[in-house]
Amino acid sequence: DIQMTQSPSVLSASVGDRVTLSCKASQNINKNLDWYQQKLGEAPKLLIYFTNNLQTGIPSRFSGSGSGTDYTLTISSLQPEDVATYFCFQYNSGYTFGAGTKLELK
């Protein structure tokens, strides 16, 4: 099974900061990776699909990049409403979620 390692597990940042979240796969996943945002008490919400494609309606401050085993979610200017937990999800071989990065305001 493919393992997905997210880092950091918790990230504290200030409004307006550029924030980078990392997701590393145990083997090449050929860009078959999505990013989800989950707020307390809600179902996960798709932000980015196939590594770098923004879902309809998602603010352009969110972006994704990566290839091979290493992937990144970037928020260009953190907003208060971005406080949430972020999960990566691979579907190249089977399906696996990362453990998540909890994003907090400093």
Partner 1 sequence: QVQLKESGPGLVQPSQTLSLTCTVAGFSLTSYNVHWVRQPPGKGLEWMGVIWNTGGTRYNSALKSRLSISKDTSKSQVFLKMNSLQTEDTATYYCASLHSSYMGYFDYWGQGVMVTVSS
Q: How far does CA 63 lie from the centroid of its chain?
A: 9
Fill in the DSSP letter of residue 12. E
Closer CB to partner 1, 40 or 106, in the complex: 40
Distance CA 74, CA 20 (A): 5
Q: Would you state the structure tokens that stand for residue 83, as one six-digit string?
A: 């406080």
- Nearer Cβ to partner 1, position 12 or 95? 95
DSSP letters, 91-104, are -SSS-EE---EEEE
Taking CB under 8 A as the rule, does residue 106 contact partner 1?
A: no
Can residue 38 be called a binding residue for partner 1 (CB under 8 A)? yes
Contact 19, 74 (CB under 8 A): yes
Q: Is 95 an interacting residue with respect to partner 1 (CB under 8 A)?
A: yes
For position 83 contacting partner 1 by CB under 8 A, the verdict is no
| Selected binder of partner 1 within 32, 61, 69, 72 (CB under 8 A) | 32
Give the binding site for partner 1 (CB under 8 A): 1, 31-32, 34, 36, 38, 43-44, 46, 49-50, 53, 55, 85, 87, 89, 91, 94-100
